[in-house]
Structure 1
């Protein structure tokens, strides 16, 4: 099988040390994020959260320092190039990382090695939907940081990539009108994706049921901006026992995506904004069939008392198939359930450079999943659905690059 060149809808970028020094206006730089290298102390994992301190005698680590925050880069988020046993929670410097983590030209080269044509990258230091800036005390500086990050994302990270690096921007989560303005500012320069929290109430923000976010959703619908929600974008991952090891959290990582999708299906948001597009990133898709079945059953059997009789006029799955995209990279159960997941709703990701990443074996992993599917479906999963979702100016029919796919390349 000739596998189409992949459009990955979920990868990550490690921010370069010069980002805010270069892109933040000079008057804010002394109050904005600073990059430094310092030792790291022992990392603790307590109740689903990490605790870490600086230690002058600890291993050298690259940090961001911002207000009272000390944010270290760890191997698990810059894991490509390490063996599985080396992908730990230890600190890491950019010099120790594979250069493609933070350098756009090196990233393009690694994408070629991974059979990837285009990539949408989530932030690291700002966290998955910009929580770092939403939690800051000085909101004037925080707003400048959001805009500086977006300027860097559009003009530097993606600027010289020929459309292969796809811009994904932040919003100031603390003010919906400022968020609308940022959506419009970025849409005017071709941005068609924004990152948002899967469960904003977990961040102390209004829920999607409140109507507060409707101007944001309206602006996204009007500009064709996809609302991308990454697992963990609610600043917490599902956990079981407080003393459970991180492996439990990793196993349950899809749970917040499932909760978020149920929230949206019964919120009326997709009814009021029928052209709004939602994308769930790194949530996999094997859970989708039952979630839809249960939502439709609840709508049929329980709508009179369940608060949605007059809010949701059609079965909830109607809105999923019309407006929601999921993604996968290792999910054979999801592939087996593809007719229910939706052949037009599933997209592929590589998760570069995280510990879950399929790189550099992305092509082999993808082929192992799609072998036996018809050519049209394979094309949709690997690139077609992502191109349609994001409105990308890419060749929809590109399937094979002889220079990149020849043996030994």
Structure 2
């Protein structure tokens, strides 16, 4: 059937702005960007064979083995972190996307080299990309858990300097900086937000559920200075699934496929937390963005939240805290994103044509590279041009205040 005039055809699909991709840190990052007085105590890259893998309580644990597959690692404060094929999966077949170790040389170069990344974005119909960290973990938990917080703070700042000046520096705005904060000290976090905002950064990564990291709850007021700084500077708070260092699972001995299927639960739980916390009431210009959580679950979640607010707000503890239906704060202040979610597209009016953004998840196992244009066409090709434009790039431009055109 021919595409009607008000629909998006494959040849005219707008170039994508991906709000959730990932970067594999180059081996020289901390040697170059960490002040010399901290380098002996900072993260160090090394290459070694990978040993046994254990999956305990939703977390992977690895050992080295001289006879094992050669792998690139980081060592920091006695802990070791290997790079695995599933986090640098682009270029491999589905059956090759395993938990085996991998070296940077075995990866596609775009995983860690910014010029090669831009070339891979060109192949993939992508104009701009926001990248989450790998070794620091999705919101910098690696440094938050460090014993030596002075070095941890220096590592956060070094990572941010590398992100802004090296990873994004020569990309002409196509690589969008996403920075870390020192999660263990809210005053230092505020200072880092302002330091980075002064050089044009408009995105910070944060934990979807801070209490899972042993940090104060968003209900406690502890994070209010951080939220205020983000509101003041126009910095978007980005929360990736797994940024609470755990993924939902059913039975403790369930295979990882169960965890992968339930990953959206983290985003749903976090969004409910924020909708009933009063944070979005107190900070009406604060923007939240949920990454890799998809969006097909959002219509019912909003319906349920509004129903609880209407029917149960007195005993539910939110009668005086949340003056309007929770969904009103979602539509005003929260963005979601998707890459394979046809149920979400079928409900896009309820999800919010102004609230949904697109991602490619490069270079992870879920990535749509190099077929993103075909995947996007399959999802939005039947939609009006203005709606498709918003979903694939327009909402991301508005959310992150990007220097690209803002309409058809």
Deviation at 1:24, TM superposition (A): 0.1
Deviation at 1:397, TM superposition (A): 4.2
User: What corresponds to 1:150 in structure 2?
Assistant: 160
Unaligned runs of 5+ residues in structure 1 are 399-409
Matched, 1:166 2:179: no
Tell me the SS of whatever aligns to 2:220. coil
User: What corresponds to 1:120 in structure 2?
Assistant: 130
Aligned to 2:48, which of 38, 42, 56? 38
Aligned to 1:203, which of 202, 210, 213? 213
Tell me the SS of whatever aligns to 2:64. coil
Deviation at 1:394, TM superposition (A): 1.2
User: What corresponds to 1:357 in structure 2?
Assistant: 367
Matched, 1:7 2:17: yes
**Per-residue CA distance 1:165-214 (angstroms, 9 max, x = gap):** 00000000000000000000000000000000000000000000000000
Matched, 1:382 2:392: yes
**Per-residue CA distance 1:205-262 (angstroms, 9 max, x = gap):** 0000000000000000000000000000000000110110000000000001000000
RMSD: 0.6
User: What corresponds to 1:334 in structure 2?
Assistant: 344
Tell me the SS of whatever aligns to 1:393. coil
1:43 touches 1:90 (CA, 8 Å); kept in 2?
Answer: no
Matched, 1:221 2:231: yes
Tell me the SS of whatever aligns to 1:52. strand
Deviation at 1:17, TM superposition (A): 0.1
Matched, 1:49 2:59: yes
Paired with 2:355 and 2:226, the residues of 1 have a C-alpha distance of 23
Deviation at 1:120, TM superposition (A): 0.1
1:281 touches 1:327 (CA, 8 Å); kept in 2?
Answer: yes
User: What corresponds to 1:405 in structure 2?
Assistant: none
User: What corresponds to 1:401 in structure 2?
Assistant: none
User: What number of residue pairs does the alignment pair up?
Assistant: 398
Deviation at 1:49, TM superposition (A): 1.4
Matched, 1:256 2:266: yes
Paired with 1:224 and 1:48, the residues of 2 have a C-alpha distance of 34
User: What corresponds to 2:76 in structure 1?
Assistant: 66
Unaligned runs of 5+ residues in structure 2 are 1-8
User: What corresponds to 2:202 in structure 1?
Assistant: 192
Trace 1:342-353 onto structure 2 (pairs within 5 A): 342-353=352-363
Paired with 1:42 and 1:212, the residues of 2 have a C-alpha distance of 40
Tell me the SS of whatever aligns to 1:117. strand
| TM-score, length basis structure 2 | 0.97
Trace 1:293-332 onto structure 2 (pairs within 5 A): 293-332=303-342
Paired with 1:306 and 1:396, the residues of 2 have a C-alpha distance of 41
Paired with 2:196 and 2:58, the residues of 1 have a C-alpha distance of 34
| Stretches of 4+ aligned residues off by more than 6 angstroms | none
User: What corresponds to 1:133 in structure 2?
Assistant: 143
Paired with 1:215 and 1:46, the residues of 2 have a C-alpha distance of 35
**Per-residue CA distance 1:39-67 (angstroms, 9 max, x = gap):** 10021223311111011111100000000
| TM-score, length basis structure 1 | 0.97
1:76 touches 1:87 (CA, 8 Å); kept in 2?
Answer: yes
